[in-house]
Structure 1
């Protein structure tokens, strides 16, 4: 294909998955903010409605490019890393060969050739063979396993400029490796993406805590509310986290010291009973507005349509606790995880004047879930809710 223009669209990284379009596109402005913040995103370069390259921006100024052929098959992957001032080194270039469309769809390649380049021009080319056609390649090469070649060359032929955001012509020369030749000048055209309503909003929180019948994507269900006990806060900081995942930074909310009721919203369906949401009520006043609980370095402007920052769950369990509450990992199995096999919530008690911890099953299990702060008319924290997104309503805020 000969091209004189490229259509440019943005989205989340998805190159490791099959496909030729962004499954989750984002506006250019969001991608630009993510680039400035050093956060990952993806750029799709297309011509005549055919994908030519997907370029992913990774943290630490790393880039990955997937190249497509005229059939829109993903046939090549190039990893680029910083080399010298203003330059990137294509330090790993992997190509695949497939015998037919079915083999490509199931990612059963016949030949995988990987070229690795060091910063001083040392090159290694490794060929691996698989499948019936790959066996023929191996036989012709005189080897039943991988074949490796090594040589030294000028590293300049593997360098390209570090692109400023939007300067995607930098990657156009790579397209020739899949037979796509550019005209003398290439015009970039941004594909318009609806800004939408932006990041996830706290819709339907009231419905989560309204007992009675409701509809879900899986059919009719019922909401029941369960009292999970009183949470004791002593430091003025309420934390929401997975009590068994020490690597996760808890989300904290400034609240007054005291004891506050914890309520679970249970969703009963034909499949069983799951915890749909959990709430700490600090004031018996309906919230006027909701805001997402954020860590200090999180920016809502970096989120695309319907995205959120949330509490990470790696043990199927979430908890409300005082930010100063410590958890002894050796006691978690006996005192928390095993009891949660037969209970929806478990309290890890403390002495009379020390903070306790109330843990509960996290919806359908591991993942990330939004934490919402409900504020009253005068800005006070009225409640804190973690929504496990089992049946969030479509109503307004």
Structure 2
């Protein structure tokens, strides 16, 4: 294919997706802000509604380019890293061969060829043959000659032939010459056409937070349900910093909210559906005043402008459990944590790890339907004070999220 124009669209990292459009598109504006912040995103370059290349911007100035053939099959992957010349070095180039469309759909390649280039132009080419079950690394020549080692060719080449400029945002013509490796020839001039994606409503909005704690019947994707509000005890805050975290993974930079010291009630929202009962949300209340507005709880390094449609910064859960605690509260050793917290939560919705007064305690609860990332909302009063903090497990929210 000879092309004189490329349609440009932006989205999240491609991952294992092998379709022809971004599974999670984003606007140019969000992608540009992510670029300036050194964050990851992906750029899809298409022509005549066919994907030709997917460019992924990785942290630490790394790039990855996937190349597609005329069948829109992903057939090649090139990894770039910074070179001492100030350019990018195509330091690893992997190509695949597939025997049929079915084998490609299951990613069962027949031949994989990997070319690795060092910073001074030393080249290594390795070819591998995947056996009938895709489990062996038998080399292609082994079909006839029978050697057991993977054949490797080594030689020197001018490193300049593996270099390309570091692209400024939007300068995707930098990668156009690589498309020729899959038979796509660029014309003398290549015009880039942005595929418009609306900014939309932006990051996840705190819609319906109050309804999470309003008892009564409601409808869900699982059918009719009932919301029940239950007391989970008093949380003792001594440092003026509330932490929302997985109690098994309290990191060095936990998600914190500045709050007054004292003892404050914790409330769970239980959602009873035909499939069972889950914790839909948890709230700690500091002022008995309805919030005037809600805001997402952010770390100092988090910027809402870097989020796409419906996205959020949230608390990560890896034990199926979340907790409210004071910033100075430590947890006991792992085996005791299992005994005192995780095992009791198998049969209870919430559990308290007490502290010796006046030391702070910890109140943990089941996290919705399991592991994931969940938004934390701060409810502020008319005068800007923190009235409550809610972690929403996304079982009833009007907005989705990622």
User: Quick check: 1:352 aligned with 2:367?
Assistant: no
The match for 2:192 is 188
SS across alignment from 2:339: helix
For residue 392 of structure 1, the aligned residue among 387, 397, 402 is 397
Q: CA deviation at 1:180?
A: 0.1
CA deviations over 1:114-165 (Å, ceiling 9, x no partner): 1111111111111111245998954566346532211111111111010011
Q: Quick check: 1:99–1:133 contact (8 Å CA) kept in 2?
A: no
The match for 1:213 is 217
Structure 1 segment 40-59 matched on structure 2, within 5 A: 40-59=40-59
For residue 264 of structure 2, the aligned residue among 260, 265, 268 is 260
For residue 384 of structure 2, the aligned residue among 368, 372, 379 is 379
User: Quick check: 1:361 aligned with 2:340?
Assistant: no
User: Quick check: 1:197 aligned with 2:201?
Assistant: yes
Cα distance in structure 2, aligned partners of 1:170 and 1:367: 37
Tell me: CA distance 1:186–1:201, structure 2 relative to 1, closer, same or farther (3 Å): same
The match for 1:9 is 9
The more displaced of 2-11 and 85-94 is 85-94
Extract unaligned runs of 5+ from structure 1: none
Tell me: CA distance 1:339–1:25, structure 2 relative to 1, closer, same or farther (3 Å): same
SS across alignment from 1:311: strand
Cα distance in structure 1, aligned partners of 2:140 and 2:256: 59
Cα distance in structure 2, aligned partners of 1:172 and 1:92: 18
Tell me: CA distance 1:394–1:12, structure 2 relative to 1, closer, same or farther (3 Å): closer
SS across alignment from 1:60: coil
CA deviations over 1:297-354 (Å, ceiling 9, x no partner): 0000000000000001111111001111111233211111111111110101011211
The match for 2:306 is 302
The more displaced of 286-295 and 331-340 is 331-340
Q: CA deviation at 1:195?
A: 1.0
Tell me: CA distance 1:34–1:254, structure 2 relative to 1, closer, same or farther (3 Å): same
Cα distance in structure 2, aligned partners of 1:266 and 1:279: 12
User: Quick check: 1:249 aligned with 2:256?
Assistant: no
Tell me: CA distance 1:239–1:247, structure 2 relative to 1, closer, same or farther (3 Å): closer
The match for 2:279 is 275
CA deviations over 1:204-243 (Å, ceiling 9, x no partner): 1111111111111222211111100000111111110111
Q: Quick check: 1:205–1:393 contact (8 Å CA) kept in 2?
A: no
CA deviations over 1:259-304 (Å, ceiling 9, x no partner): 1100001111121111110000111111111000000000000000
Q: CA deviation at 1:377?
A: 1.0
Q: Quick check: 1:6–1:47 contact (8 Å CA) kept in 2?
A: yes
Structure 1 segment 99-110 matched on structure 2, within 5 A: 99-110=99-110
CA deviations over 1:190-212 (Å, ceiling 9, x no partner): 11001100000001111111111
Q: CA deviation at 1:18?
A: 2.1
Q: CA deviation at 1:17?
A: 2.5
The match for 2:25 is 25
Q: CA deviation at 1:84?
A: 2.0
For residue 171 of structure 1, the aligned residue among 169, 175, 180 is 175
Extract unaligned runs of 5+ from structure 2: none
Q: Under a length normalisation based on structure 2, what TM-score does the superposition of the two structures give?
A: 0.95
Cα distance in structure 2, aligned partners of 1:143 and 1:17: 36
Tell me: CA distance 1:129–1:254, structure 2 relative to 1, closer, same or farther (3 Å): same
Tell me: CA distance 1:241–1:85, structure 2 relative to 1, closer, same or farther (3 Å): same
Q: Quick check: 2:244–2:315 contact (8 Å CA) kept in 1?
A: yes
Q: Quick check: 1:321–1:355 contact (8 Å CA) kept in 2?
A: yes
SS across alignment from 2:32: helix
Q: Quick check: 1:15–1:66 contact (8 Å CA) kept in 2?
A: no
Q: Quick check: 2:230–2:270 contact (8 Å CA) kept in 1?
A: yes
Alignment size in residue pairs: 395
